[in-house]
A and B are shown apart, each in its own frame.
Chain A
Amino acid sequence: MSSEPLLRVENLKTQFFTEAGTVRAVDGISFEVYEGEIVGLVGESGAGKSVASMSLLRLVERPGEIVAGEVTYKGETLFGLEDGPNGDLRKRDEMLSNEEIRTRIRGNEIAVIFQDPMESLNPVFTVGGQLREFIELNRGLSEDEARREAIDMLREVGIPDPEQRYEEYPHQFSGGMRQRVLIAMALACEPSLIIADEPTTALDVTVEGQILDLVDDLQKKYGTSFIWVTHDLGVVAEICDRVNVMYLGEIVEQAPVDELFYDTKHPYTQALLESMPRPDRTVADLEPIEGVMPEAINPPSGCRFHPRCPDARAVCKRVHPEPKVVADADGEPHRAACVKHDVFDVGYDESPPLEGAVDGEGSRRTDEPQSELAANPAGDEPGGDGGE
């Protein structure tokens, strides 16, 4: 791992200004992606993972807006604010313009793979035509060269008869094959970073396994970095090098993948792990996380997880825990945002347990549908991913 990260995200905040109020979809997250690694962004539906990843490319749709933070990629400022002369925030001079982001970053430096392979390809153009268009645009190749490149890439991602398939339309491909096309599309643009937004969620388990294997192989071959957005810790275990666990717009735990699984620090990560199907557990052993994620429009005070946290104490309601380094794994920090691990003693141990922390919040359950909506204003993770 080189010392300078490929991508550095600092204190990124993205908000949606809806009629019901401001939704703090992404609320001050920081993480890094180094060259050649796969970084997981994990959390339940509505945690802000997709909004966070789209913010990196400045692709947040109205009424959403990036309101704070800094995103640096290969030394260039994709987003950055500074204090203006009258104390207001203004865009930094070195921040890339919309045009620069579009021509220099999107596709050729950072490519994406979306969740829904059925909808992501345009139904009225051939698969080859779409591949070719993006390759031409992002690599400045001629039509013929781009075509050849597209066919090679289709072969590379395991699509049989690529010459013939090139001429076919998306509806003639199965879900798994379409996802392969989208992977080919991303790789063919030769980016240094690929954002994969729940790319296997819409697929069945067998196909998911094949796609994960494929990505693993190709990642080794091309050395591309990935940000892998998912709600599924099983996928994380299989593919990621480092993991960021998101809850209600915040990163609550950040660690190398083994650390996260074997030395879990944050109660939310723990809860996610316990709700995860594993070969050594029967369905009866699964412990779903109590309650539903509250609204990002009006997050709980203190630690946002406290209404659902089995370890919550009175202090958790008051104190908002900041991410702190809680352990060190071969020089790589393991961070968690939980007062249990706070280096400054905020009095967790003396604090009385929260009475009915989980069940006392019954009112939250009744407005379950709205909470899903409000936490999810940009259609983040469409189609419900069964993660909650």
Chain B
Amino acid sequence: MKLLKYTIYRLLQAIPVLIGISVITFLLANLGPGDPVSLMLQGQEHSEELVRSIEQRYGLDRPLHERYLTYMAGLLEGDLGQSIHYQRPVADLILDRIGPTLLLVLSAYAFALATAIPLGIVAANRRNEPTDHASRIAALVGVSTPSFWIGIVLILIFAVKLGWLPSSGLIYPWRPPSSYPGISGHLELYYESIRHLLLPMIALGTLQMATIMRVERTQMIESLQGEYVKLARAYGVPERTILRKHAFQVAQLPIITIVGLNLSTALGGAVLVETVFNINGMGQLFVEAIQQNDYQLVMGVTMLLGVLFVVGVIITDISYAYVDPRVTYGERE
């Protein structure tokens, strides 16, 4: 099958990219300012010997390229090294924290798509009418307001003033209800989980929503002016079918690209939103790792974000190939 071949081809293409990411991250983490050993000793009295033994234990005394190769060998076995600060394997730390971040990012995207696409279509269909102008202003505000600020304002309004929604933390729907005090039964767990997710989801998703909405509007306008739409009209296709099928299908292609490429902004935004809402996700882990100069952890998290981004791009490409028949799978027909 062509699509399968294409998928494998794209995955193979990702390997050099990932190696590149690993080299750069490794260099940045190891050559950056700050010395992990002295940080570990936290200004305690220490002898030269102690320093050397710590260096030996973490392999810090060996030349850079050797350390890189060792690291990569470990990586292939799923060993991301040991966090100096937490004294735990980096892989374990990441596994603990990735759930909340994925939950947050995916729900933010779901929110953005579910709102932006209908709004964009309405704006396109009522071009230059008040609805369109309102949506344009909303989009402008959405694009230019930082997510953490939106988060703070949402907390102030919905948590502090109105008291409708919790202001911090997440409830994870995949954990047993018993792990949360005061929650009995799965229904309540899901309910609480959604209540906790709502504000951070909106805070993180607003930027995506604004971007997608504008692209959707432009694409729909262009698509609605296409000759194929004129043809459909001339053959008596109802206007709503044209809007929902003929024009819509063509207009969605660029949306896929936007979603894929914005993954990096979304992950970046997640760091801030997690901090504002006090969510124990990858974002907070990353901030702590940098503050503690925990270079193993910094590397692990960066690698993972790199991988997530590359995977996002690959999924984008593949879905594009799936939706757009004109994509020729990198080969001439």
Residue numbers of A with Cβ under 8 A of B are 57, 59, 102-103, 105-108, 111-112, 114, 116, 119-126, 133-134, 137-138, 169, 171-172, 182, 185, 189
Contact = CB atoms under 8 A, between A and B. Distances in A.
A137 B324 CA distance: 25
A107 B325 contact: no
B237 interface: yes
A59 B326 contact: no
Provide the main secondary structure of the chain B interface: helix
A119 B325 contact: no
Nearest to A186: B235
Interface residues of B, number: 21
A40 to B, nearest CB: 20
Contacts of B231: 112, 114, 120-121, 182
Nearest to B251: A124
A114 B230 contact: yes
A103 B246 CA distance: 18
B211 to A, nearest CB: 23
A185 to B, nearest CB: 8
B236 A112 contact: no
A123 B250 contact: yes
A108 B226 CA distance: 22
A101 B233 CA distance: 11
Contact of B325 (A108, A120, A124, A133): A124
Contact of B228 (A103, A112, A119): A119
Interface in B225-280: 226-228, 230-238, 246, 249-250, 253
A126 B325 CA distance: 9
B235 A125 contact: no
B236 A102 contact: yes
B156 interface: no
Nearest to B223: A122
B323 interface: yes
A120 B228 contact: yes
B110 to A, nearest CB: 24
B331 to A, nearest CB: 15
B249 A116 contact: no
A119 to B, nearest CB: 4
A106 B227 contact: no
A140 to B, nearest CB: 12
A107 B236 contact: yes
Contacts of B246: 122
A111 B228 CA distance: 14
Nearest to A106: B236
Given A119-B227, A119-B228, A122-B228, A169 B325 contact: yes
